[in-house]
Structure 1
Amino acid sequence: MASRTPRLLLTPRTKTLSGFLVAALLLSGCSNVFFYPDRVTYITPDRLNLAYDDIYLDTADGETLHGWWLPAEVPENDAKGTVYFLHGNAQNISSHILNVTWLPEKGYNVFTIDYRGYGKSTGDPDIEGALHDAETGLRWLVAKPDVADKPVYIFGQSLGGGLAIPLASEWAQREERPRLNGLILDGTFSGFRQIAREKLGAFWLTWPFQIPLSWTIPEEYEGLDRIAGIRPVPVMIIHSVRDGIIPFHHGQALYEAAEEPKEFLQTDTPHGATFVIPGYKEAVLRFMARS
């Protein structure tokens, strides 16, 4: 992850773009049009009666990342483990935090960061930078004395899952410590290039450019190519048959490419809304308890 490459694309809003998008794509080669960060604070954990700490991390290339640490609601040192949450491509952690605020009550610590350019994090977003940021957060997390001796899980949602797969694969193949206890993917695309081609191909103005522009995306982080390398870490893939942003076949393809141990949870909610259903929360808790 040492080199830097042009910015990536990922958004369902491709259909709403005009000729300006075509010009931007041709000039930048799938660069800055697929991250949708903002700096609005939508909600903070204290508004949900949760304890939390603001965390600020410095990256090796000079950016500062902001994150939240949510401790488990159990006596000190009694946490069941820690979940490292990587969020989707829009807004920032304050709009995604409800996906994990139910975990502290269940005995799990939660740590989540904003990638560069999101929320209170500095810089501008791009795929290589976001991968560096995800690894920076994980290394900070596992260095905490109260974390390293308990199970650690990565939970990536949508774009966050696309970042989580190469991170978990490299972590496993380098035999980093502590060993990851599980990877959870929710509504994740099967590859950066594949989702780019689908989004570009869905709009007549960008349809002719779907193949050549997708070639500008780095190929070394494609989920289908990297997910098998996560073994022996257990993988849980969650995908909804009603996902209108990342079609269901992406989850199926990732599951087929993953090695055992693996589990597939077919859901029936809109994109990013998995945990409005209590039964889906319970399925994730069972997975973590077994891992």
Structure 2
Amino acid sequence: MSGISKALLSATLIVLLNGCTSLTSLYFYPQEVWIQTPANLGLEYEDVWLSAADGTGLHAWWIPAQGSTSHTNQVVLYLHGNAENISSHVRSVAWMPERGIDVLALDYRGFGASEGQAIMPGVLQDIEAAAAWIRQTYPDKELVVLGQSIGAALAVNFVAQAGERYQVQALVLEAPFAGFPDIARSALTGTWLGWIFVPATWLIPSDWDPQDKAAQIRIPTLMMHSKDDQVIPVQQGRKVFQNLAGERCWLDTSGPHIASYNDEYNRLISQKFIAKQSCEALGLTRPQSP
């Protein structure tokens, strides 16, 4: 069992034993200390300080397009996974600025230098603050939201909730889970002890389940999920994909959880999708589907 899976299992047991009132201890594992900055990867960047609607102070990294490649008109709002902070996830998008794509990498409340405690729906306010900053600072840029793991689940919720407010043009999702109770059950069934607590997962709130929110997504969406994923099984992503209401394309990948961008082919497909915001632009005979 991976470290992430063990952490999720432990937190699931704790929450079920103490009552299902807090999603924070179940799904978010923040770390304040940065292990690196974009500068360590040879990238120029700026610290961006934001304020959520409830006054929570937030931190993000603005990593503008750089290098000799022509700058594009796209900006990616990057939503990372559930553990550590942007410093341990930034490599997933570090290739984008070098290909002309601007990136705003957000740390949710409680992560890195952001204040507060990560909990739903507060983190959705954080994403809204980041999207508002992009719209105010770069009103003519085409906004694409990219989320990995729980970041993908949050991206679906954010776009479903925001509608056309921030003019999000497209979504890129890697390894979303179908529902909060679903992923808890998945973690529990990986061990004999966990099976005892599976019935209690029906008490976990499902107000923000991505598989339900997906029906409100009408913008083009590229979804990728590794068939080898041991943290969030690919079947979870398929449930979300099948409910998307807009144009959708599926990219089969391989390797560990949220490691698709280790493969240059997946980078190229995503780069093309971000530029065109269309599945037809991927050069496939037809969009792949699970």
Scaled by the length of structure 2, the TM-score of the pair is: 0.87
Identity %: 34
Partners of 1:65 and 1:121 within 8 A in 2: yes
Structure-1 residue corresponding to 2:143: 152
Structure-2 residue corresponding to 1:100: 93
Q: How does 1:215-234 map to 2 (within 5 A)?
A: 215-217=203-205, 219-231=206-218, 233-234=219-220
Structure-1 residue corresponding to 2:122: 129
Q: How does 1:1-291 map to 2 (within 5 A)?
A: 11-14=4-7, 17=10, 22=13, 24-29=15-20, 31=22, 32-73=25-66, 78-144=71-137, 147-172=138-163, 175-177=164-166, 179-217=167-205, 219-231=206-218, 233-291=219-277
SS of the counterpart of 1:224?
helix
Q: Deviations over 1:50-106 (max 9, x none)?
A: 11000111222232111100011169x953210000000010000000000100111
| Residue type of the alignment partner of 1:44 | T
Q: Deviations over 1:218-242 (max 9, x none)?
A: x2211111112110x1011100011
Please state how far the C-alpha of 1:112 moved relative to its aligned partner: 1.2
| Residue type of the alignment partner of 1:222 | D
| Residue type of the alignment partner of 1:197 | R
| Residue type of the alignment partner of 2:177 | F
Q: Which moved more, 1:121-130 or 1:26-35?
A: 26-35
Please state how far the C-alpha of 1:198 moved relative to its aligned partner: 1.7
How far apart, in 2, do the equivalents of 1:126 and 1:210 lie? 22
SS of the counterpart of 1:102?
coil
| Residue type of the alignment partner of 2:195 | W
How far apart, in 2, do the equivalents of 1:164 and 1:104 lie? 21
Displaced runs of 4 or more, over 4 A: none
Unaligned runs of 5+ in 1: 1-10
Partners of 1:70 and 1:109 within 8 A in 2: yes
How far apart, in 1, do the equivalents of 2:274 and 2:226 lie? 20
Aligned residues: 271
How far apart, in 2, do the equivalents of 1:207 and 1:34 lie? 19
Unaligned runs of 5+ in 2: 278-290
Partners of 2:8 and 2:26 within 8 A in 1: no
Please state how far the C-alpha of 1:26 moved relative to its aligned partner: 2.2
How far apart, in 1, do the equivalents of 2:27 and 2:193 lie? 17
CA RMSD of aligned residues (A): 2.1
